[in-house]
Amino acid sequence: MRKLKFLTAGLLLATWAYIVPASGQSAKKELIQHANQALDLAARQYKLMAQHVPDTLLPRSTNKDGSLMTSNSRWWCSGFFPGTLLYLYEYTKDDALKAEALKRLQVIEQEKNNKGTHDLGFMMYCSFGNAYRLLKDPAYKDVLLTSARSLSTRFNPTVGCIKSWDHGAFTFPVIIDNMMNLELLTWASRTSGDPSFAKIANTHANTTIKNHFREDYSSYHVIDYDPATGAVLQKKTHQGAADSSAWSRGQAWGLYGYTMMYRETKNKVYLNQAKHIADFILNNPQLPADMVPYWDFDAPGIPNVPRDASAAAVAASALLELSRYAGGKDAARYWTAAEKMLTSLTSPAYLAKEGENNNFILMHSTGSFPHNSEVDVPLSYADYYFVEALLRYKQWGK
């Protein structure tokens, strides 16, 4: 594994601006039509869902008895419902969706001070980040900067990572999911002028490249560190089939995270990492023909195991963006792969019927199969990244 040099604060100052992507690939007329139909359905579903979720709670999934599963603001998924509502408002300009989103933002705002979770990127950037992008309310910027400061308290410079969990048998666990929370920090540096946030994000990303990935660019789920020395203690899984397996959503988190980090920094190490992860996913012999992964690429019993539509949604959104930076044949290959994933997700095999599926958009996601938790159900984050991917496809296709 190549050695990576940490970026200096001066270099960070030069790399805060977003990359301007190259020209997009051609969009298929039929898929654009399906995307619009899916987004229209999504807007209707989420307006229906809002009627069934108490004002102080957020939708999460479906219980084993078929009822709606909700969460409080501290659950790591709490930001996805308001975030999806805001994406759908962006698409529809329906003020009812905006009003519902703003109501739910009030529920989760208190989490800006939560220093007990690594998931503030998911919780606050997917929600308040979209709110600030669309509505430009300076109060939302303050919420995000406070959230970034809270997240930064979990960084250990000796380890070079943000700690994921404060529970379980691990000492200093870092999960691949944590790559998704770094965008809050890069945004915070770009917005505030304080390079410390971006330095944390880059250091975490570099350490993760060094320790999380195997020679084939598949990823472990959990790396446990010694917080005093930074030494790796264990390479494990929590939601995958085995320590040595490739948990599907984990691969998608890594793909999305390094694509995002390249956008934020222009560091080609991150672009190359994203391309390697994409190739692992797309060239994997266990990737089904419809491009919606099984819950783990190495799950015992394939093909008779649950799928994970959330992994496909995250990967599709990431592949669309990666195609903007990859160039040449790779750009077309990644775009086409995302198209195939979205074609499947917008089909009746995965897209819910109106008024069904507890008003979630996608069916057939898997939260944690080893724990028999959220298996073959809708998930709020599957919907979020699905809607994001559809909007990206419509925006970037030519």
Residue 192: its pLDDT value, please?
98
Annotated active-site residue 226? The verdict is no
- DSSP symbol at 18: P
Q: Using alpha carbons, list the distances in angstroms from residue 121 to 116, 263, 274.
A: 13, 17, 20
Whether the Cβ atoms of residue 72 and residue 55 lie closer than 8 Å to each other: no
Residue 3: its pLDDT value, please?
35
Catalytic-role residue among 55, 65, 119, 330: 119
> Structure pTM?
0.94
Q: What's the fold here for domain 9-396?
A: Glycosyltransferase (1.50.10)
Residues tagged in the binding site annotation for substrate: 119, 177, 237, 249, 253, 368
Residue 100: its pLDDT value, please?
98
C-alpha 200/C-alpha 87 separation (Å) is 28
Length of the chain: 398
Cα angle 189, 195, 201; round to 5: 75
Residues tagged in the binding site annotation: 119, 177, 237, 249, 253, 368
Q: Block means of pLDDT (10 residues each) for the chain, length 398 residues?
A: 36 35 77 98 98 97 98 98 98 98 98 98 98 98 98 98 94 98 98 98 98 98 98 97 98 98 98 98 98 98 98 98 96 98 98 98 98 98 98 95
Whether the Cβ atoms of residue 253 and residue 180 lie closer than 8 Å to each other: yes
Single-letter code of the amino acid located at 118: H
Annotated active-site residue 308? The verdict is no
248-282 exposure pattern, b = at least 16 Cβ within 10 A, e = fewer: bbbbbbbbbbbbbbbbbbbbebbbbbbbbbbbbbb
Whether the Cβ atoms of residue 362 and residue 383 lie closer than 8 Å to each other: yes
Residue 5: its pLDDT value, please?
35
C-alpha 353/C-alpha 334 separation (Å) is 29
Catalytic-role residue among 40, 55, 65, 177: 177
